[in-house]
Structure 1
């Protein structure tokens, strides 16, 4: 898809004289939402995107990020073209819970600089922006409307959580609005290579230096600047901008790039209902619901998290046929008398299951666990010695997982096992090793790069304040999940979008106070 008003930086002269009131760096979920929210503001907006309208190997090859710790293919989740990572987003939307914003004495560096009430109106705005239907995340009325049941976990420790799904490719969906907006200029193939402070005060950004794959170079000047390039690229940009501050911008307390967090994804555990009819489709896949889709997950309540002193947890489920479940038990070496009885009672069915995946009834939930990673300063993005095509140091990632992350799943499974037994739902097979050689060996991530430019009101605890402005730079802001002090269990895109709307209101109010509106 092409848009008539979008400019291509490869065709620019070396000094095109670009000026704006607000310069946004990065056209993913955060940058496109912010530009869309500002499209009727009267402020001149320049939205810079390092790539084009489609994936371009010249641009993508420059964004490779090696891992120097635990294996993790971070590069696969960094799509450098218009729309960013939303170009492969699954559309999963759910809000952070109120306790996600609160400090927890068992999780160092936890707590957001504002509470859930602050973000509540912006969640509603993001919900409407994404076309998610009625603003309803209680699973009970949705289950009734679909004519299905919920799992009977509704006590103090476990609950069902509804997620809404709509696959919105932000570039395709909101590009036409930006194309029509007279105050918004989108520039493609515009890679920000340096951020320069004004020489007079040294506390405000005067301009950013931009280069394109064609080799040309130019500056963009603005009143306010917003970095919206993702949880890997933003800390890299700040660390690279060390010409005037040797440690990099915002890095006075050595926090830029630290506290890299993911939503840890790990397949482990079996939940066996007593009644096979309790294997419910609403928990196994996305179910059509009007113009969107919905799905339920099982999550630990705030009380369970507090009593166990762990991070947040949710589990997606997949179904297993009886015989495949028995074979899995046999292979794992964790087999009891009931398992043996199941295997020998139907040897022909067992053989069929082994050969062809089984037509046996699906009577078992397999758990695909998603947990909140504990903030860890050793888990970090930093710079390496080799340079990209523009002469900038490349980023590298040292993703660190701790025993506490491993024990979070173990504790969550213990809660599920206890509750399943208490209410007579069935039983839980716990497969997490309490004393592993490697914590969560084989764990994956959701492509949710969080925490590397974290918010906190105290500059010793965060790079930015609660508005996303760098503590030490008066007019430089951050948008996106790099700001998140902690991640909860939800996928971050709905929260990223809500926070972009909040930043839009802040910038418009500031511009009005300072005479730009």
Structure 2
């Protein structure tokens, strides 16, 4: 059942076995995992509809350094399905090494291992509609040529894959399943503004729920799950300070700290020897119709030996804003950047004082390259605009076999990188966030040494030559600041309550019936986009709640053929 909270009686107290706050991928995954358990589930979503501007404005906040972090309301979306309405669909699991305690990575180590998430990763892959759980090209494409002909290395892996969701909008795709589930009630337009603990502080008594211009309500549940994302989760916990002055779960001043994203950017010049057909830099289509793409990474034994943070590199085209690439498609993207959404156009806007001469050079590129430009536009309309499973991103024919590397690297968890409550308040009276994202020298140095190993192995093989500027690397990587919507680590998982917020089951250490779902609970950021791990950890949490709250044990969620057909309806 799906309802609008504005239609409820003011002062109502809603009852449920499990209340999930936030209906993005994490919240939807927990709700679906509990759909057949017999437990009553209440799923709260702040947005009343997709693109709810009034609800979206509640995200606005302060940023300590706007050159390093996007505005607080960007890369996040209110409405059923949350930010899955705007994600790019890139899926890949964390690597086994990411879960280890690594002496060279301060504050690293998860209280669970890769094997604890593996069955849930498989289910998460189905939920994200990313096809078969196969993230190595040797398994997914056993008869396919390598990424670069003639390149093989035990140090630099070139067989890793990323798989792409449709991208699935979890609100549109699973709305019908949620509506038909007898034990699930979805309440839209319902903003949780407070967690009210029992007087002793050890359990959640009620939740305060408000609507914009409508009734205020309360929720009483046996268990509460915060699935609000890496920014709103600490905001709500810190703002709920009537019983614990520091905020819920914040007895040791950890909530909101260790905030991570990813360090990312296009760097260097990779010259591949041989023919353009010897390089597989684009997308391959798996037998199940899923787009896949290969990437480079440093093998785990070498990471341990050299003390490297995890990172990946993708073969990419030159910097779009520089017209010297002489590519009509890239220049067309630059000229059309004001018509592209902020989330995907941000990296086209690093020429704020662009001169008429710069625009003219880009225009001349378009005019000089009409056939490729027309072919690109035709392909984009057919395979991106009109397709249900969309072509993931811009990939261009590379006649010269010259590429940049698109890096995405892990960050060191730092207590000083944090989000806290700011001075202003939103329309419901909640204090807004103040975001102070930071990086450190080790983040940059590790990527430099990663590039050094890739360059050395490319040279050793004779397949390619990689060069880059160590002097400008930090500037190149931080040109756009923290990478996108990867908000990680602000309610981290761990064994020690003095250094973490939740335990191995995602339960807040000091509160018996309060849980956190999503990337806020990740202790480290890995090389990977977080969505697939968010889903896997959420499905694991759902199984735990089913076991704890009922006599019927919940298995990891699996989509049968019938369910997959229904989900696509």
TM-score, normalised to structure 1, is: 0.88
Conserved 8 A contact 2:267-2:473: no
**Aligned counterparts of 2:552 and 2:509: Cα–Cα separation in 1:** 19
Of the three residues 130, 134, 156, the one matched with 1:136 is 134
Contiguous gaps of at least 5 residues in structure 1: 328-351
Residue 109 of structure 1: aligned partner: 107
SS of 2:297 mapped into structure 1: strand
Conserved 8 A contact 1:407-1:434: no
Residue 305 of structure 1: aligned partner: 303
Conserved 8 A contact 2:162-2:294: yes
Residue 498 of structure 2: aligned partner: 460
Conserved 8 A contact 1:479-1:499: yes
In the alignment, is residue 44 of structure 1 matched against residue 40 of structure 2? Answer: yes
Residue 333 of structure 1: aligned partner: none
Change beyond 3 A, Cα 1:253–1:278:
farther
**Aligned counterparts of 2:418 and 2:542: Cα–Cα separation in 1:** 29
Of the three residues 482, 485, 496, the one matched with 1:447 is 485
Residue 522 of structure 2: aligned partner: 484
User: How far has the Cα of 1:90 moved from its partner?
Assistant: 1.3
Question: Which residues of 2 match residues 85-124 of structure 1 at below 5 A?
Answer: 85-124=83-122
Question: Which residues of 2 match residues 120-199 of structure 1 at below 5 A?
Answer: 120-144=118-142, 147-151=144-148, 152-160=150-158, 161-166=160-165, 167-199=167-199
Change beyond 3 A, Cα 1:306–1:70:
farther
Task: Please identify, of 480-489 and 63-72, the stretch whose mean Cα deviation from structure 2 is larger.
Answer: 63-72
Measured against aligned partners, the alpha-carbon deviations of 1:270-301 in whole angstroms (never above 9, x if no partner) come to: 11111133662x42346465332111111111
Conserved 8 A contact 2:57-2:73: no
In the alignment, is residue 469 of structure 1 matched against residue 469 of structure 2? Answer: no
Contiguous gaps of at least 5 residues in structure 2: 328-360, 370-397, 554-569
Cα RMSD (Å) of the superposition?
2.5
Change beyond 3 A, Cα 1:305–1:153:
farther
Residue 417 of structure 2: aligned partner: 379
SS of 1:385 mapped into structure 2: strand
Task: Please identify, of 394-403 and 441-450, the stretch whose mean Cα deviation from structure 2 is larger.
Answer: 441-450
Measured against aligned partners, the alpha-carbon deviations of 1:240-290 in whole angstroms (never above 9, x if no partner) come to: 00011100011111100001100222111111111133662x423464653
Task: Please identify, of 238-247 and 442-451, the stretch whose mean Cα deviation from structure 2 is larger.
Answer: 442-451
**Aligned counterparts of 1:398 and 1:86: Cα–Cα separation in 2:** 25
**Aligned counterparts of 2:416 and 2:288: Cα–Cα separation in 1:** 45
Residue 431 of structure 2: aligned partner: 393
Residue 21 of structure 2: aligned partner: 25
**Aligned counterparts of 1:286 and 1:252: Cα–Cα separation in 2:** 49
Conserved 8 A contact 2:267-2:476: no
Residue 247 of structure 1: aligned partner: 246
Question: Which residues of 2 match residues 277-296 of structure 1 at below 5 A?
Answer: 277=276, 280=279, 282-285=280-283, 287=285, 289-296=287-294
**Aligned counterparts of 1:326 and 1:385: Cα–Cα separation in 2:** 48
In the alignment, is residue 504 of structure 1 matched against residue 513 of structure 2? Answer: no
Change beyond 3 A, Cα 1:10–1:354:
closer
**Aligned counterparts of 1:13 and 1:353: Cα–Cα separation in 2:** 59
**Aligned counterparts of 2:285 and 2:86: Cα–Cα separation in 1:** 20
SS of 2:268 mapped into structure 1: strand
User: How far has the Cα of 1:52 moved from its partner?
Assistant: 1.7
User: How far has the Cα of 1:354 moved from its partner?
Assistant: 10
SS of 1:119 mapped into structure 2: helix
SS of 1:361 mapped into structure 2: coil
Conserved 8 A contact 1:22-1:43: yes
SS of 2:185 mapped into structure 1: strand
Measured against aligned partners, the alpha-carbon deviations of 1:319-341 in whole angstroms (never above 9, x if no partner) come to: 359x95699xxxxxxxxxxxxxx
Change beyond 3 A, Cα 1:436–1:202:
closer
**Aligned counterparts of 2:175 and 2:480: Cα–Cα separation in 1:** 38
**Aligned counterparts of 1:103 and 1:218: Cα–Cα separation in 2:** 43
Task: Please identify, of 130-139 and 383-392, the stretch whose mean Cα deviation from structure 2 is larger.
Answer: 130-139
Residue 382 of structure 2: aligned partner: none
Aligned residues: 484
Of the three residues 5, 8, 23, the one matched with 1:12 is 8
User: How far has the Cα of 1:125 moved from its partner?
Assistant: 1.4
User: How far has the Cα of 1:131 moved from its partner?
Assistant: 2.9
**Aligned counterparts of 1:477 and 1:248: Cα–Cα separation in 2:** 15
